[in-house]
């Protein structure tokens, strides 16, 4: 017999509000990220996850206890943790002799795994090594991706999209120039991704446009892609669908160019060019049959005078 799906009915108004909050929304809320450790971890990878949690402190949750989870063998425990903590993103730290210093980054769709990537951490420099001022907690970063592999190779193309989803934080509707304080640079070369974190300094330049300087604040690391599990084309298509209530009503004969300029097409009735009012001058005067006859007589009289 097929298993009967369990339906959770709220008993109090508080539990009803909590369940409604977890239901699919027309306007997506800020994605929360869950940080946790595997059964075995090294000191370096624990510090790496700690620094990543500091970069995403505004919308993140960290679990202190170790978890006996192997996501590439069985992903169900990860999905249970994500549902329990209402998290759409997760970052897991693992360490083994075969795959040392690992972080597994992934995202969920409809409480099930969508994409997951295993990254090996090399040449790690923590935040504590950079003895300078840091950015404020919860600052939205400006992300820069360098390298043609982010556009040409499918694995790195999905990794780029996953990193944007992971670090973007709260959606900003308005931008202030002084708000650009943090920059994350991802450079791909020879199959490796180099991560650098900078503090943006706006200094006086004598003009209205400030002079921009970058100061490295950490963390810094090299990421090596090891294993991955990406969604199928059908599942990815479902995850990108938008509800009809969120789609804007299409306006006829109005479109936008790649720069966001609104362009419109105006339809008019057919015009009679013969009746079009133009500038009044002798060169543009209409020649009628009467004027042609008078011009012919004048030219004939002038010819007779020359013959005489």
Tokens for 304?
A: 């007779």
Residue, of 192 and 24, whose pLDDT is higher: 192
Rounded CA-CA distance 45/126 in Å is 10
Q: Is the pLDDT of residue 2 over 50?
A: no
**Range 198-226 average pLDDT:** 90
What the chain holds in terms of domains, given with CATH numbers, is 29-238 (3.40.50.10480)
Q: Which residues contact 9 (CB under 8 A, 6 or more apart)?
A: none
**Res. 1: pLDDT tops 50:** no
**187's torsion region: left (phi>0), alpha (psi -120 to 50) or beta?**
beta
pTM of the model as a whole: 0.74
Return the residue matching tokens 């892609």: 225
- 229: confidence class by pLDDT, cuts 50, 70, 90: very high
pLDDT digits (tens, 9 = 90+) for 132-162: 888 887 788 889 999 999 999 999 999 999 9
Query: What b/e string do you get for 141-156 counting C-beta neighbours within 10 Å, with b at 16 or more?
Result: bebebebebbeebeeb
Query: What proportion of the chain, given as a percentage, has pLDDT over 90?
Result: 35
Quote the pLDDT of residue 291: 60
| Contact between residue 122 and residue 224 where contact means Cβ atoms under 8 Å apart | yes
- Residue percentage of the chain with pLDDT more than 70: 86
The SS3 assignment for 294 reads helix
List, in sequence order, the alpha helices (H) in the chain: 13-22, 43-55, 76-84, 149-152, 154-167, 233-239, 289-307
Q: What is the pLDDT of residue 124?
A: 93
- Beta carbons of 35 and 61 less than 8 angstroms apart: yes
Closest CA to 187 of 154, 158, 162, 221: 221
For the chain, how many residues are written?
308
**pLDDT above 80 (res 283):** no
Q: What is the pLDDT of residues 241-279, one digit of tens each?
A: 877 777 777 788 888 888 878 888 888 888 787 777 777
pLDDT score, position 302: 52
Q: pLDDT at position 185, please?
A: 94
Provide the pLDDT confidence category of residue 234 given band limits of 50, 70 and 90.
very high
Considering only residues 107 and 267, tell me which one the structure prediction assigns the higher pLDDT: 107
């Amino acid at each position: 017999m097929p298993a009967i799906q369990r339906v959770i009915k709220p008993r109090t108004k508080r539990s009803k509000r909590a369940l409604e909050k977890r239901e699919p929304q027309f306007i997506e809320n800020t994605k929360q990220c869950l940080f946790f450790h595997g059964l075995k971890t090294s000191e370096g990878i624990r510090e790496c996850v700690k620094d990543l949690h500091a970069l995403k402190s505004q919308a993140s949750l960290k679990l202190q206890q170790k978890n006996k989870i192997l996501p590439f063998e069985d992903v169900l425990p990860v999905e249970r943790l994500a549902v329990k903590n209402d998290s759409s993103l997760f970052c897991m730290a693992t360490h083994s002799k075969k795959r040392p210093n690992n972080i597994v980054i992934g995202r969920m769709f409809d409480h099930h795994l969508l994409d997951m990537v295993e990254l090996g951490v090399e040449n790690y420099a923590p935040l504590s090594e950079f003895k300078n001022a840091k950015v404020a907690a919860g600052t939205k970063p400006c992300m820069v991706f360098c390298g043609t592999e982010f556009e040409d190779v499918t694995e790195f193309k999905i990794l780029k999209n996953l990193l944007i989803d992971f670090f973007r934080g709260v959606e900003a509707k308005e931008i202030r120039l002084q708000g650009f304080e943090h920059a994350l640079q991802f450079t791909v070369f020879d199959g490796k991704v180099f991560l650098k974190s900078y503090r943006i300094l706006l200094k006086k330049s004598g003009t209205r446009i400030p002079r921009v300087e970058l100061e490295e604040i950490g963390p810094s690391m090299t990421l090596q892609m090891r294993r991955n599990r990406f969604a199928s084309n059908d599942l990815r298509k479902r995850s990108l669908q938008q509800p009809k209530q969120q789609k804007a009503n299409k306006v006829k004969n109005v479109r936008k160019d790649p720069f966001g300029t609104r362009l419109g097409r105006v339809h008019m009735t057919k015009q009679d060019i013969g009746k079009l009012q133009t500038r009044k001058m002798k060169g543009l005067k209409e020649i009628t049959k009467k004027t042609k006859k008078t011009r012919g007589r004048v030219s004939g009289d002038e010819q007779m005078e020359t013959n005489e």
